[in-house]
Amino acid sequence: MILNIDKHDLASLTPRDALGRALVDLGEKYGDVVVVTADVGEATRAKYFQLKFPERYFNVGISEQDMIGVATGLALTGFKVYAVAFSMFLMRAWEQVRNSVARMNVPIKIIGTHAGFSDSYDGASHQCLEDLALMRVLPNMVIINPADACEVYEAVTASIGLKSPCYIRIGRDFSINITCNLDYKFEIGKAVIIQEGTDVSIFTTGQMLPFTVEAVKILEEKGISAELVHFHTIQPLDVSVIEKSARKTGAVVTIEEHLVRGGFGSAVAEVLVQTYPVPMSIMGATRFGHSAKNPLDLYKYFGLTSEEIAARAEELVKIMKRQ
């Protein structure tokens, strides 16, 4: 933890509140931190930073492409820049991230909020299920997908020291806090082994963590020992943990709040197929989202539940036994 804060203070915050808090704390510690947003200071809580450091806060209006360029320019003059907007609309600036940020390897920190199904109300147009795939393909890009409000705080504050650009995708209000009570050290690039097991590996990222924790319990009751590993960092991926776990269990289920092509599951598959191929099941969204009253409705609708995860893991174990 870069800044001295009691994690229990964070447990009651929403992911976006934790972001706002992290930005303020960073702003207090580092005089050269600046924040840029695209008309979503309120919605992302970047506004907390504005209230304390108005001279270091910039709003470019609804212009995400411009935001990325302005952030790049600020970074070229030596500032530590946090560029904050909704994940979905940051994707319209993907080419700017590719051509202005990644190509010059400018260490700006791009924070995408309202990612996955967290913005249940606004529906498919806003529910970003493609960002991990799009960011992952870029050289020099560090990608972090925190599990809950506590990890949002960890990720955002830890990113201050990065020498390459990074993309951190967070939710909105929904958060089931697991890492707040976990005794571990948040390190960019290091996977977190939540529970060891022998029959099947479950790899999770972002806000799917609590559902995998429940899934492990369901499997336990069925006599299946699942190994649960949480990957807050998608890039660089903790390759050694992936390989070690696959060798131990021989079967891997991945889950993400993202489309099944090109995201976390694909990243894991790329590693395993080139080192230690094992049967895999990649879980995630398979089509665009929908308006809903609560992200939980969307998780159910798209089969991203602890029951489904347990069922997939069980299926994989059965397949393995037959071989």
The interface region with another protein, picked from 41-49, 67-75, 170-178, 234-242 by CB under 8 A, is 67-75
Residue 62: CB minimum distance to another protein, A: 9
The interface region with another protein, picked from 95-103, 158-166, 182-190, 230-238 by CB under 8 A, is 95-103
* 123 touches 289 (CB < 8 A): yes
Q: Is 57 in the site for another protein (CB under 8 A)?
A: no
The one-character DSSP state at 86 is: E
The interface region with another protein, picked from 96-104, 247-255, 266-274, 305-313 by CB under 8 A, is 96-104
Cα–Cα distances in Å, from 51 out to 22, 86, 320, 321?
Answer: 14, 20, 56, 59
Residue 46: CB minimum distance to another protein, A: 16
Residue 139: CB minimum distance to another protein, A: 14
Q: Is 78 in the site for another protein (CB under 8 A)?
A: yes
> CA 179 to CA 218: how far, in whole Å?
20
Residue 68: CB minimum distance to another protein, A: 7
Q: Give 215-284 as a 3 state SS string.
A: HHHHHHHCCCCEEEEECCEEECCCHHHHHHHHHHHCCEEEEEEEECCCCHHHHHHHHHHHHCCCCEEEEE
CA atoms within 13 A on the CB side of 206: 30
Q: Is 79 in the site for another protein (CB under 8 A)?
A: yes
Q: Is 61 in the site for another protein (CB under 8 A)?
A: yes
Cβ neighbourhood burial of 78 (10 Å; 0-12, 13-18, 19+): exposed
**Which of 282, 8, 257, 302 lies closest to 128, judged by CA?**
257
Ordered strands of the 109-113 beta sheet: 57-59, 33-37, 80-86, 109-113, 166-169, 142-144, 233-235
* The token pair that represents 120 in the structure block: 């249940």
> CA 227 to CA 249: how far, in whole Å?
8
Q: What is the DSSP string of 25-48?
A: HHHHH-TTEEEEESS-HHHHTTHH
Instruction: Find the binding residues for another protein in span 14-53 (CB under 8 A).
Output: 34
Residue 119: CB minimum distance to another protein, A: 23
The interface region with another protein, picked from 68-76, 118-126, 169-177, 222-230 by CB under 8 A, is 68-76
Residue of 4, 6, 55, 293 interacting with another protein (CB under 8 A): 55
Q: Is 159 in the site for another protein (CB under 8 A)?
A: no
Q: Is 161 in the site for another protein (CB under 8 A)?
A: no
Residue of 14, 37, 50, 65 interacting with another protein (CB under 8 A): 65
- Whose Cβ is closer to another protein: residue 4's or residue 77's? 77
Residue of 71, 252, 268, 310 interacting with another protein (CB under 8 A): 71
> CA 68 to CA 270: how far, in whole Å?
29
The interface region with another protein, picked from 91-99, 118-126, 128-136, 261-269 by CB under 8 A, is 91-99
The interface region with another protein, picked from 22-30, 40-48, 92-100, 159-167 by CB under 8 A, is 92-100
Instruction: Find the binding residues for another protein in span 104-133 (CB under 8 A).
Output: 104
Q: Is 68 in the site for another protein (CB under 8 A)?
A: yes
Cα–Cα distances in Å, from 252 out to 179, 212, 276, 317?
Answer: 22, 13, 11, 9
Q: By the criterion CB under 8 A, which residues form the site for another protein?
A: 34, 55-56, 58, 60-61, 63, 65-79, 95-96, 99-100, 103-104
